[in-house]
């Protein structure tokens, strides 16, 4: 999963944060910022932030659905694997970190769907009752609290996907965080 075409823009944002962090924060030791939601139409220098906000994912519809099923299988069939280990074997550490950034399994699953929808040719469809990825001939996701996928169909997932995708959580930053942004 290397070769992220968005890396140039990500590096530019990190550079600008390092250069201008002092102007924004001044002499404060810390500040609290409001983040933007995962679902947004915002752009930076002509690039959609939605694409930049999640890890780069490659693969066909069959491959991305396999990633989704690998994540869910240990919950669907307890004792048969570990979701994080299985995800790490099929993807990148960056995707694992993005998904596991939060503790709740339902929220992690929605974050995984969000990231998988960034694969070339994939589309994320959201309704108040469902969050689905359509990728070529494959469709998978969560409909009314139940998983819809090749191997984990019917698994119950308790999550408010609309909240996950639209909330704007606050993040505490320390003045040095800008200087330590990835170079």
Q: Domain residue spans in the chain?
A: 7-52+168-177, 61-166
pLDDT tens for each residue of 40-98: 988 888 888 888 888 999 999 999 999 999 999 999 999 898 999 999 999 999 999 99
> What's the mean pLDDT in 111-127?
96
Summary count for the chain: helices (H), strands (E): 7, 8
pLDDT of residue 140 exceeding 70, the answer is yes
| Residue 65 burial (CB count, 10 A) | 24
How high is the pLDDT of residue 149? 96
Please tell me the least confidently modeled range out of 25-29, 117-121, 122-126, 135-139.
25-29
């Amino acid at each position: 999963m290397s070769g992220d075409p968005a890396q140039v823009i990500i590096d530019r944002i990190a550079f600008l944060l390092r250069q201008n962090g002092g102007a924004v924060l001044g002499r404060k030791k810390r500040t609290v910022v409001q983040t933007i939601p995962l679902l947004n139409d915002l752009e930076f220098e002509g690039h959609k932030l939605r694409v930049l906000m999640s890890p780069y994912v490659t693969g066909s519809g069959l491959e991305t659905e396999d990633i989704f099923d690998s994540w869910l299988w240990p919950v669907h069939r307890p004792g048969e694997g570990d979701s994080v280990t299985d995800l790490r074997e099929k993807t990148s550490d960056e995707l694992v970190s993005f998904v596991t950034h939060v503790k709740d399994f339902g929220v992690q699953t929605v974050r995984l769907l969000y990231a998988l929808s960034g694969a070339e040719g994939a589309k994320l469809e959201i309704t108040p009752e469902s969050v689905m990825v359509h990728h070529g001939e494959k469709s998978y996701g969560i409909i009314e609290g139940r998983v819809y996928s090749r191997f984990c169909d019917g698994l119950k997932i308790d999550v408010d996907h609309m909240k996950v995708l639209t909330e704007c959580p606050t993040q505490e930053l320390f003045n040095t965080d800008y200087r330590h942004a990835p170079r």
